[in-house]
Structure 1
């Protein structure tokens, strides 16, 4: 046979050599990854052991009887001073048998019961990494995690590819090798020759696919990332502060912490949950790792096609939507549409570009029709607002122009069917096969509103939604609407997430904001530039977003503290919130002129409020000396020049005594002084300096770390004057 000639043999040998190298690279990556995981587990073990020991120390030794159904006699152990399960767990069999009255059987049963309780405790303890109080054990954990975090989301793709190649090539290579030599094929026998030739064909296809997908380069890059020498302790801590969520995501995956599965899956019935689990989720176009519950949410949207995702604020609804978009793009779909309030349009654009390889196209402003035409022609993710949507021509479904997925953010905006925005969304939703509504408002408290939203996505389910289901409780309600509604709460899924969730809320200047900003830049007034976004409270984009955050927090029963450097900004905030959030008391502001006793009374009133509340404070006055752990949401009206000042203000709420994660929302204006300041806050050398020189004095006084910023302010003013002058010149030339 021609396939058995010398030429064919040499070709097969080359093929086997290529496949062997690819197989070796895949196995090497998996081994390197296992070593990296082992390093994290080794660093994690003593921390978890300590947490388990502390928990066991609080459990009375009498609980051992519960495990053994009362068959254990503990009097001798209690008489010897063993009052907790920890004392028994840490004792050896020999030590227990030395106690008067403790025999071999009692010692064995007691140890077995203590170990059983310890295993149960180990499954529930949550590891918190305290950036303000680093100690050797947590430092070792952060350094070990850094290697995996630095490898980025591409590591998961590389590992998945390596696993497939290792299994496939490991099976094919031994079968194909006889075809590499003529004599081997002669003596192989007919069946073996047939299998060898079939294996060669499969090897050739596998190697070709790997080349087309550049898997060798992907494996090499991932291996290089995992083999980098460990960073210094301070560099690891600085990186942790910049992207703590990614560290906790890795930690939760490695520690295999068990959350309440039913709660993390929104108490869906088993048939719906099974369908969701069976839904694949392609990460080819995704640039972010997902938490388990986030992956489930994206799969839910894909499997159920037309749904409402109602996760509590702070759980990453945007990331789940981006994951669904990326999966559909990998399947070959090209057009997607996101509809949102104007205040979050720029956030969506940035998130899509940062979290995926998809093309984000804002359809907003004077050029919106051109942008829409470009989207119709070239595809991508069009991001538009409720107010703009009605001006866009509906897609021609006969030509397949409908979006593959329509995402409607802050979907409670269309709860009133009589409004223009609701009618417009209804038209688009009717044209789309897949629809994803996002809302952080708990729908089980507003059955009629939920029915209105459900009409957009699953009108067939509306008759089944009864008020009695809501009366029976949130779990019963969610079960009754499971085919179209998924909601998870923070307390159910954030057991291993950081206690601090930071979100940058990017806004575009309104026309009034822009005029005030240009005037401040022309005057060279740095402080006026920083607060220009609040010059006209009624038209302020930042204040509109702040109001939305406060309303969503109120819907979820959360307290909010609002910080600003400027008193007049806080006055504008008080004015807007006072006009629009009557059900939420607004306290303060706390400022430098408010006596200490009065400040504490404001904090006490805020803490004692029976439901949601808002406390306003100047950042320098409220950022030091007050405990605001009643707050679950912190809003920073503008970035601060001094990083430590911002850090201390957040620490007022995010401290011991805080029982749930704290969300920090920083309001930022694009193309402004805010962007310049943000670069400073994220500058690693600046943070490195803060860590390297950390001391009690530095913690108490921001000026002990931060240098004078007069020169910095002057430079930012000059840069903005040049930028705006350049934009004006460019516009004049058009």
Structure 2
């Protein structure tokens, strides 16, 4: 074959491929290099946080164990705390007059021991609102690692396809780099060199060269990316970053408990359960994947994870895994208020078909499900209308807010339990802490595991609590947010106290004295002119500040009247309020509009209507217009925003008025909370915290007495002032 290239062209082509070989090698190793950068950034964070803690330990702590060190001398020499000692060398300490070499070594050993004890307790909370140099470096390194994973994967695929052929072709073409070597090359080798040139030139001008150029440009772009770009990415995908960090630096987020409270033997069995998540459209957190395995392994369970931990996603993932193993039919029973939300989340998070069995077309929808399979989503009220073939069964029944069927005599309970008889597996879900309602727990477990319900039925005493938890572990599984979501940005709660103006006070005191309890609870909101409401003005200030920070706001009140006044106060800045009268479909439309709205938008809702069943991570400010008599209502409302997927710190403002029923309610709740905490820490049978009617009646009576006494004092003072004025005039 005639030579098809010049020696210069051969050298140029070989040089190009040598550069590409180097680039491809770099790209193949890029992910590992970036992983090391992540680990280093995390190490710097831990070191910085450790030093901050050392700064708070005074040098006098050295002698807590009576080491006999001259701490006064150290302080006078400028060593005020453990950070100063950590930064000093042993030689610098020994150079102090009065500190021996042995003493200096003892000091460094003591500080080093403290560091060793501190480091495992350093945990990371990433928040786009509280950036430091260290956390920005971590987020940036994770951002670059994510890019590097894809680049490395693509580069390795190129290597697997082309590396051997390119290596051979480059060796054969190397004979054509110069005249003398070519002169002494045989015909067969010359022909091979010419073919190699054509092959390498084709690669350079074809898909191989184009792809390597793309990968190189992507690498350079990633290496040039800024912390701001990385934080923007974090805001939109915080779960991805948390999962990645858990994988690369286990334990830094504080999620080190791999068994999540299960007995050891059961935990081993759950861990071995296969999980086939093909078809899920979201990443499962590690604790969520564990929950899915628990559901699948145990077959009939009550999942009681705290709100915000993704019980719905775990249920969907369990269905997907069963579908991938051959199952075809699943059903969900839920309150009508979240029926639309269930359908949307099934479609959003998986490739499963959601069929809403509700309303006028319920029979047609049910027939469709029976025929074609998928997930039938229905309400408690609609279950009674289900007509299924006699021998029809399905794979999994999920019952959301399962405490709705706590009463065995209720019609909806009977209908749901009859439907449960047709399901191979049962998943009951509730965010309510059923440890505090043992009777309800026993009723629900009675459907799942009748023999176990009989055993735990009488176990309500403190002494039996450990045994109780051990017995229910195979069927009841509950994890708390602070156990598994330690990486969530901080929740900052603030009591925002307002001072009543004259008009507000007059209206409030009249309401109390007229024994109008509900009007009294709406203190400040009942004033004739909303412009004179101190709570309304504070709400305006918070909303304006939130808008300036690019935040969205949720406003909750028990009272429809208050919510309507909030809407009137904010005008177009406030969405259509969510109330108990709103249809589920309309509520979903409002939520979608709120999610898509610009920062600064406000969504107001009655707390009993909007405090459950919603996922509103786009909001990061929560305003409570009055204290709730049932703190769990507040917790549920806050959890609408402070939940998995939240990328910002969540700010909670409780609007309260001094010298009003707000103050009395907060005091009573604090007292009850202290008692509850002391009891609940030791027992699973504590009663739920709530102010009862008797307590409220006493509270109102005390408030009436306080107002009457104050008014009497003020009246007496006015009379005395008037008498003094009369005396002055007569004299």
TM-score (norm: length of structure 1): 0.55
Match of 2:599 among 607, 618, 643: 643
Q: Map Cα deviations across residues 678-715 of structure 1 (whole Å, 9 max, x no partner).
A: xxxx9xxxx9xxxxxxxxxxxxxxxxxxxxxxxxxxxx
Distance apart, 1:345 and its partner CA: 1.9
Match of 1:51 among 49, 52, 61: 49
Q: Map Cα deviations across residues 68-108 of structure 1 (whole Å, 9 max, x no partner).
A: x7667463545545443333333333333333444444444
Q: Map Cα deviations across residues 569-615 of structure 1 (whole Å, 9 max, x no partner).
A: xxxxxxxxxxxx99x97776599935474558999xxxxxxxx9969
Match of 1:302 among 296, 308, 311: 296
SS of equivalent to 2:408 = coil
Q: Map Cα deviations across residues 25-59 of structure 1 (whole Å, 9 max, x no partner).
A: x9999844323333333444433332222222223
Give matches, 1:595-606, under 5 Å: 595=532, 597=534
Partner of 1:211: none
Partner of 1:522: none
Q: Whole-Å Cα distance in 2 between the matches of residues 664 and 137 of structure 1?
A: 29
Distance apart, 1:493 and its partner CA: 2.1
Give matches, 1:180-579, under 5 Å: 227=219, 229-230=221-222, 231-257=225-251, 265-394=259-388, 401-466=392-457, 468-469=459-460, 471-472=462-463, 477-499=468-490
Retained in 2: the 8 A contact 1:147–1:226?
Answer: no
Distance apart, 1:439 and its partner CA: 0.4
Match of 1:665 among 640, 643, 646: 640
Retained in 1: the 8 A contact 2:62–2:69?
Answer: no
Distance apart, 1:61 and its partner CA: 4.5
CA RMSD of aligned residues (A): 5.1
Q: Structure 1 residues 585, 404: CA separation in 2 closer, same or farther (over 3 Å shift)? A: farther
Give matches, 1:46-195, under 5 Å: 46-61=44-59, 73=69, 75=71, 77=74, 80-132=77-129, 134=131, 136-147=133-144
Work out the number of aligned pairs and report it. 484
Distance apart, 1:314 and its partner CA: 1.1
Q: Which sections of structure 1, spanning at least 5 residues, go unmatched?
A: 1-25, 174-219, 502-556, 562-580, 604-611, 624-634, 655-659, 667-681, 688-734
Partner of 1:593: 530
Distance apart, 1:271 and its partner CA: 1.9
Distance apart, 1:455 and its partner CA: 1.0
SS of equivalent to 1:123 = helix
Q: Structure 1 residues 463, 350: CA separation in 2 closer, same or farther (over 3 Å shift)? A: same
SS of equivalent to 1:434 = strand
SS of equivalent to 1:643 = coil
Q: Map Cα deviations across residues 368-407 of structure 1 (whole Å, 9 max, x no partner).
A: 323322322332222222222232234655xxx5322221
Q: Map Cα deviations across residues 317-343 of structure 1 (whole Å, 9 max, x no partner).
A: 112222222222222222222221122
Q: Whole-Å Cα distance in 2 between the matches of residues 257 and 347 of structure 1?
A: 34
Partner of 1:514: none
Q: Whole-Å Cα distance in 2 between the matches of residues 588 and 225 of structure 1?
A: 61
SS of equivalent to 1:418 = coil
Q: Structure 1 residues 103, 445: CA separation in 2 closer, same or farther (over 3 Å shift)? A: same
Q: Whole-Å Cα distance in 1 between the matches of residues 62 and 284 of structure 2?
A: 39
Q: Map Cα deviations across residues 492-515 of structure 1 (whole Å, 9 max, x no partner).
A: 2222123379xxxxxxxxxxxxxx
Q: Structure 1 residues 227, 649: CA separation in 2 closer, same or farther (over 3 Å shift)? A: closer
Retained in 2: the 8 A contact 1:61–1:85?
Answer: yes
Q: Structure 1 residues 74, 494: CA separation in 2 closer, same or farther (over 3 Å shift)? A: farther
Which range moved further: 445-454 or 367-376? 367-376
Q: Whole-Å Cα distance in 2 between the matches of residues 53 and 493 of structure 1?
A: 26
Retained in 2: the 8 A contact 1:293–1:493?
Answer: yes
Q: Which sections of structure 2, spanning at least 5 residues, go unmatched?
A: 1-23, 165-211, 498-516, 541-555, 572-587, 603-616, 625-634, 649-731
Q: Whole-Å Cα distance in 2 between the matches of residues 377 and 560 of structure 1?
A: 57
Q: Whole-Å Cα distance in 2 between the matches of residues 382 and 121 of structure 1?
A: 51
Highest CA radius of gyration, 1 or 2?
2
Retained in 1: the 8 A contact 2:151–2:219?
Answer: no
Q: Structure 1 residues 426, 102: CA separation in 2 closer, same or farther (over 3 Å shift)? A: farther
Partner of 1:519: none
Q: Structure 1 residues 291, 226: CA separation in 2 closer, same or farther (over 3 Å shift)? A: farther
SS of equivalent to 2:331 = strand
Retained in 2: the 8 A contact 1:405–1:434?
Answer: yes
Q: Whole-Å Cα distance in 2 between the matches of residues 125 and 620 of structure 1?
A: 47
Q: Whole-Å Cα distance in 1 between the matches of residues 280 and 94 of structure 2?
A: 58
Q: Structure 1 residues 320, 109: CA separation in 2 closer, same or farther (over 3 Å shift)? A: farther
Distance apart, 1:353 and its partner CA: 2.1
Q: Whole-Å Cα distance in 2 between the matches of residues 258 and 474 of structure 1?
A: 32
Distance apart, 1:224 and its partner CA: 10
Q: Structure 1 residues 346, 613: CA separation in 2 closer, same or farther (over 3 Å shift)? A: closer
Q: Structure 1 residues 448, 57: CA separation in 2 closer, same or farther (over 3 Å shift)? A: same
SS of equivalent to 2:344 = helix
Retained in 2: the 8 A contact 1:341–1:385?
Answer: yes
Retained in 2: the 8 A contact 1:252–1:496?
Answer: no
Q: Structure 1 residues 597, 250: CA separation in 2 closer, same or farther (over 3 Å shift)? A: same
SS of equivalent to 2:594 = coil
Q: Map Cα deviations across residues 138-177 of structure 1 (whole Å, 9 max, x no partner).
A: 444333333566799x999x89xx99xx9xx9xxx9xxxx
Give matches, 1:614-629, under 5 Å: 618=566
TM-score (norm: length of structure 2): 0.55
Q: Whole-Å Cα distance in 1 between the matches of residues 142 and 637 of structure 2?
A: 23
Which range moved further: 376-385 or 483-492? 376-385
Q: Whole-Å Cα distance in 2 between the matches of residues 385 and 144 of structure 1?
A: 46
Q: Structure 1 residues 648, 295: CA separation in 2 closer, same or farther (over 3 Å shift)? A: closer
Q: Whole-Å Cα distance in 2 between the matches of residues 40 and 621 of structure 1?
A: 48
Q: Structure 1 residues 94, 613: CA separation in 2 closer, same or farther (over 3 Å shift)? A: farther
